[in-house]
Amino acid sequence: MSVDKTTVAKIARLARIAVPDERQGPLADELNAILDWIAELDEVKTDHVEPLASVTGHALPMRDDVVNDGGCVDDVLANAPESASGFFVVPKVVE
C-alpha cells in the first residue's frame, strides 16, 4: 500500500492541516518510506490474537455520577485566542 499526492491531500484534509501543493509530493515520499518499513509487520502471524489497547491490567474505575467541577469560566477562557461574554469565539459557521 502506498500513498500518492491525492491521498496526501485527503489525509491532510482529514487531519485539518493545510498542506500546500508543492509539499504534497515530498510528503508522499516521506510517508511511503515509513509505510514501507511498517509493512514488515505483515510477516507476523496474528490470526486468533486479540488486539491489545491497554496494559493497565485493571478495569476502568467508576465514580459517582455527580458534578464535581465547574464554575470556573474565567479559568476556562483565560487562554482562548478570542472570547466574548463567557464564550469562545470562532469564525461564522451559520449563513
Partner 1 sequence: MSDLLSLSAVEARVALDKKDISAVELTTAYLAAADETAALNNYVARTADQALAMAAESDKRIADGKAGLLEGVPIGVKDLFCTKGVASTACSRILDGFVPRYESTVTANLWAAGGVMLGKLNCDEFAMGSANETSAFGAAINPWQGPDKLDLVPGGSSGGSASAVAARSALMATGTDTGGSIRQPAAFCGVVGLKPTYGRCSRWGIVAFASSLDQAGPFTRTVADNALMMTAMASHDPKDSTSSAVPLQDLAAAVTAGVKGMKIGVPKEYVMDGMDGEVTALWQQGQAWLQAAGAELVEVSLPHTKYALPAYYIIAPAEASSNLARYDGVRYGSRVEADSLDGMYEATRAAGFGDEVQRRIMIGTYVLSAGYYDAYYIKAQKVRRLIKNDFDSVFETVDALITPATPTAAFPVGRKIDDPVTNFLNDVFTVPANLAGLPGMSVPAGLTKDGLPLGLQIVGKAFDEASLYRVGGVIEAAANFTTTPARMAGGAS
Residues that bind partner 1 (CB under 8 A): 1, 3, 7-8, 11-12, 14-19, 27, 30-31, 33-35, 37-38, 40-44, 46, 49-58, 60-61, 63, 72, 75-76, 78-82, 88, 90-91, 93
Name the residue nearer to partner 1 (CB basis): 15 or 66: 15
Nearest distance from residue 25's CB to partner 1, in Å? 14
> What b/e readout covers 60-76, taking b as 16+ CB neighbours within 10 angstroms?
eeeeeeeeeeeeeeeee
Cell triple for 89: 469565539
Compute CA distances 68 → 22, 65, 71, 72, whole Å.
Answer: 50, 9, 10, 12
Nearest distance from residue 77's CB to partner 1, in Å? 8
Do 11 and 3 contact (CB within 8 A), yes or no?
A: yes
Name the residue nearer to partner 1 (CB basis): 60 or 66: 60
